[in-house]
Structure formats: C-alpha cells, structure tokens
Amino acid sequence: MRIVLGVGAGIAAYKSCELLRLLTESGHEVRVVPTPDALRFVGEATWAALSGQPVTATAWDQVHDVPHVRLGQTADLVLVAPATADLLARAAAGMSGDLLTAVLLTARCPVIFAPAMHTEMWEHPATQANVSTLRARGALVLEPAAGRLTGHDSGPGRLPEPAELLRAAVRVLARGAAGLAPDLAGRHVVVSAGGTREELDPVRFIGNWSSGLQGYALAVTAAARGAKVTLVAANVTLADPAGARVLQVTSAAQLRDAVIEAAHDADAVVMAAAVADYRPEARSATKIKKTGAAPDPIRLVENPDILRELSARRPRPGQVVVGFAAETEDLLGNGQAKLAAKGCDLLVVNQVGPGIGFGVSDNEALVLAADGSQTRVGRGPKETLADAIWDLVADRLSG
C-alpha cells in the first residue's frame, strides 16, 4: 500500500521515526511529507534514509512530478502524526501553504490525524471545532493519549505509541473504500476487556485466563471506524489502543461502576471482559498463612450481573448492548439460554480452552441476536471478529 506520512511541527515528531520504520517493515511504500517547521525537529536526511523515498516540505521541489497533486491522488492512506493544533486548524480551513496541506486537499483516500499537543491546546474550543469539522468531512481524528507531555506537564495530548498507530492504520486500510466514511463517527462506544480479580488476601486472588486481546481489538477497530472509545480494562498489560480512553480496574465491582458510568451517554456497550461470577465473602487483611491444619472454607457470594443490569437500564434510547459468553461445550444451546437471561441485543459465543479463546491472537464465534438471527465468524485474527461485531452494531444503530 502507498502511504503518505505527514509530520507536523511538534516534539512528538521523533516518535514518527519509529512509526515510519514499522510501516515500511510491514511492506508499505511510505512517502514522508513534513511541514517546513517539522524539519526543525527531525531532519530531511533521517526521513529519506528510513523511507527510501525523497523528502520535501514544499511544492517547489520536483515540480515536474506535480507532487502537491500526485501524492494525494495516488495514496491509499494519509496518516498525519503528529498533527499539531496549527496543522489541524490549517487543514480544517482548507489552506494549502505547504506540501502537506496541499496533499490533504487532493487526497481521495482515508485520512487519519493523530493529534499531539498540550492539554490546554487540545481542549481549546477552537481546536475542538476544527476536529469536529475534519470529522464531519470524513477524516478520522484519533483521540490523543493521556500521559507525560513536554516539560513537567501531563494530561491528554500525548501522541499514541507508534505500534498502536500502526494498528489503527492497518484497520483503516483493511476496510478499503469503507474507510472513506467511518460508520461509527460521532458514536460513543464502551468496551470492557480483560479478566477481573477477586482478592482473597493481599497476595492471592480468584481470576481467569483472559488477556484482554479481544477487547483491545474491539477498541482499536472501533476507533479506526471513527468512534469515541472508552475502554474499561481489567488487569490488562497491553499498550493503550490509539484513540481510546482507558480506565483501569481490578475487581468485578470496580468494573461494574466504571462501565455503568461510562455507558450513561454511550451508543453501544460491548462487554468483552471475563467477569468473575463470584467473590470471597470476606477478604483477609493479612496474608493467609499455612498452619498445617485444613484451611477454612472460602465462602463465595455472587457478583453483580453487569450485562443484565446494562440491558435493563439502557440510559440512552436505542443503546446497543453486546455480551460475550465463553463456553466449553454446546455453544448454541448455552448461548441461547444466556441471551434470553441477559436481555442483550447481541451475544458473542466463543469456545475457550487450550489454544483457543484466551491468550491467543485469533478467535472464532457464533453471534446470536435478540431477533433470532445468527452470524458465524470463522477462525481468524481477533480484529476480524471485532469488525464483524461492529458491523452488526452499526446496522442496529443506523436502523
């Protein structure tokens, strides 16, 4: 695929060097188009060496190739990282004072902006208005990550990690022409991921094998389709997906509170986390010691049924609720029973066991719908299942 990597004049430009390496190592032909001031942060020679392509910031070089038109016309994707406040403003206004903004005007392929700036600049009404304008035109403007910025500042405005930007780009490219019109644009979706832990004492817990891979695939795929994503992650060690706001939790009770609050204004909620059905009635404040005698029985109490509560509450009209059912046998029978009991719109039933489901990069599932329809998704990357789920969600939201 032919990718134009636009680079704005921000300190985060150094991270785009790693992004460029990842893109080229993935087999893509990448042409770097920095703004003139971006070359103050990373020089032309670095971009040329890493990409194997000529680099220019103005439309006055190689004029015979008409680069300000040809680059946009022939690209399969334009990825701008970092996208500064100034660059977002000029793109929204349709200005073309340098090669990159001219390419943005001529591009007829999906365009991704990965903003990076100080929190105050990102939250300023002018920047938010520019972001809204670009999104309304079909561009994918990712939410910035939160974390350490320049100096001692910290907050939203950090460029997502290069590997996560690569994942977002791959998901957009995989959608082909559909990537030109993000079908979840303007939607807020909540995804839960990982596995909850119920503490017995300060060092032991009851848990499960969920790695969070499927939930994170759902998050990155939703962001690549234009959604505002809130990801509630239970005990997951994966990097934050580009474009998602991540809330870290430990127990089922904490996950329930975070999801219920986030779902208040959500268009869709996908409960991909493996939530413990039970928790110890009492937690020891100190480590339980081995005494040589038989241990006291652990009395368990039931955790809240988050999926059923979500399905019943529906704080927003038309909200779509999706559940997951990890089964070891009789997927259809157990899935239909759970769908009826929970009251959700869609139930993703997947088999778990050695080498399938938990902790692996691929998955397969039977998606049952409240209207009686069934969708079978064959074994493949977890992103493929995620796209299939969002297809079903998008159909229901548009209906």
Which pLDDT score, from 0 to 100, does residue 81 have?
98
Whether residues 262 and 193 share a domain: the answer is yes
Which pLDDT score, from 0 to 100, does residue 232 have?
98
Which pLDDT score, from 0 to 100, does residue 74 have?
93
CATH number at residue 117: 3.40.50.1950
Whether residues 146 and 195 share a domain: the answer is no
Q: Is residue 292 part of a domain?
A: no
Active-site annotation holds for 208:
yes
Tokens standing for residue 328: 């070891």
CA atoms of 299 and 280, how far apart (whole Å): 6
CA nearest neighbour of 210 among 255, 145, 161: 255
Could you give the number of structural domains in the chain?
2
Q: Is residue 368 part of a domain?
A: yes
Whether residues 217 and 349 share a domain: the answer is yes
Tokens standing for residue 243: 């474009």
Whether residues 73 and 138 share a domain: the answer is yes
Residue ending a domain, choose from 145, 180, 215:
180
Whether residues 213 and 336 share a domain: the answer is yes
Q: Which residues of the chain have pLDDT under 70?
A: 59-68, 356-357
The reply to whether omega before 34 is within 30° of 0 (cis) is no
Q: Is residue 143 part of a domain?
A: yes
Residue 235, C-beta contacts closer than 8 angstroms, at least 6 positions apart: 194, 195, 196, 197, 207, 212, 250
Q: Is residue 291 part of a domain?
A: no
pTM: 0.92
Whether residues 139 and 228 share a domain: the answer is no
Q: Is residue 310 part of a domain?
A: yes
Whether residues 174 and 192 share a domain: the answer is no
Domain that holds residue 121: 2-180
CA nearest neighbour of 396 among 364, 357, 363, 370: 370
Q: Is residue 290 part of a domain?
A: no
Whether residues 138 and 234 share a domain: the answer is no
CA atoms of 118 and 188, how far apart (whole Å): 24
Residue ending a domain, choose from 131, 146, 180:
180
CA-to-CA dists, residue 384 to 115, 228, 258, 358, 391, angstroms? 27, 20, 27, 16, 11
> 36-77: per-residue pLDDT in tens?
999 999 999 999 999 999 998 876 666 556 556 888 899 999
CATH number at residue 269: 3.40.50.10300
Whether residues 204 and 281 share a domain: the answer is yes
Whether residues 206 and 97 share a domain: the answer is no
Whether residues 166 and 212 share a domain: the answer is no
**Active-site pick, 208, 303, 334, 350:** 208
Which pLDDT score, from 0 to 100, does residue 358 have?
77
Sheet with 111-115, side-by-side order of all strands: 29-34, 2-7, 77-83, 111-115, 140-141
Neighbour tally for 232: CB within 10 Å: 30
Residue ending a domain, choose from 151, 180, 209:
180
Whether residues 198 and 140 share a domain: the answer is no
Which pLDDT score, from 0 to 100, does residue 63 have?
58
